[in-house]
Amino acid sequence: MRIFESNWMQIEEYLTHDDRIVLPIGSTEQHGFLSLGTDALCAERVAVEAAEPLGVPVLPVMPFGMAPYFTAYPGSMSLRLSTYIEVMRDLLNCLELQGFRRIAVINGHGGNAPVAGLIREWLCQPRDEEVQVLFHSWYNGLKTVIAADEFHVDQMHGAWVENFPWTRIEGADAPAPKAVVPRELLMNLGPVAIRELAPDGAMGGPYEAPDDVMEKVWAAGVQEVRTIIESGWVRN
């Protein structure tokens, strides 16, 4: 359930019988012909669909992430690493203070990976009651990747693997496939160079896949997130 569909008293009552909550995190950045909100839209949606049958509340997605390499594309936002880490620390502190003891952080953006390091550091702080925090990048789940590999092994930024009905922009039709941009270049270039390398923002491969393929990939992602929320904890 989306936490925005509850009032504070209902969440306080929920905490009398369950201590789980889901925090989706994403990014606002160019995705070629797809929505600038692709990572945020997918992170929140996969969290909501996964948590709904379990009755676990889902916070609104953190819509900004760390994407300095895409800032040459208008509309792409990026927070400094130091800023992002402190925002996440504040959120975890609030959740712990309120009584949440099992927090699932569901990530939709590769650039947010440093959050995993913060979580490990945060969990090492001395506390009276144990708190568990799980960090899961939904698109990197084993079953999700296997489902995607059945269609195409090139799962590049802004291309077919992120092309869902809710990430498409009306009137922005995808062109024919193009050559894949080498990953080693993407990891070592700045924003201007990346825009020159990929003028439309997509990093190569097919721009779209059949609906049944995307449904299979999405179903795998939802199921993996649901399993984590339901039984991924060291102690329930």
Residue 39 neighbours by CB under 8 Å, 6+ apart: 26, 27, 28, 29, 31, 65, 108, 109
Question: Within 13 Å and on the Cβ side, how many CA atoms surround 93?
Answer: 9
**pLDDT tens for each residue of the chain, 236 residues long:** 899 999 999 999 999 999 999 999 999 999 999 999 999 999 999 999 999 999 999 999 999 999 999 999 999 999 999 999 999 999 999 999 999 999 999 999 999 999 999 999 999 999 999 999 999 999 999 999 999 999 998 899 999 999 999 999 999 887 878 889 888 888 889 999 999 999 999 999 999 999 999 999 999 999 999 999 999 999 76
Q: What is the pTM of this model?
A: 0.96
Would you tell me how many other CB atoms lie within 10 Å of the CB of residue 180?
Answer: 15
Would you tell me how many other CB atoms lie within 10 Å of the CB of residue 107?
Answer: 26
Q: Where are the domains of the chain?
A: 3-231
Residue given tokens 């309120």 in the structure block = 98
What is the pLDDT, as a whole number, of residue 116?
Answer: 96
What's 3-231's CATH class? alpha beta
Contact 162, 31 (CB under 8 A): yes
Query: Computed from CA positions of residues 164, 192, 77, 108, in that sequence, does the dihedral angle turn out positive or negative?
Result: positive
What is the distance between the alpha carbons of residues 57 and 138, in angstroms, rounded to a whole number?
18
Chain-centroid distance of CA 129 in Å reads 28
Q: How big is the chain, counted in residues? A: 236
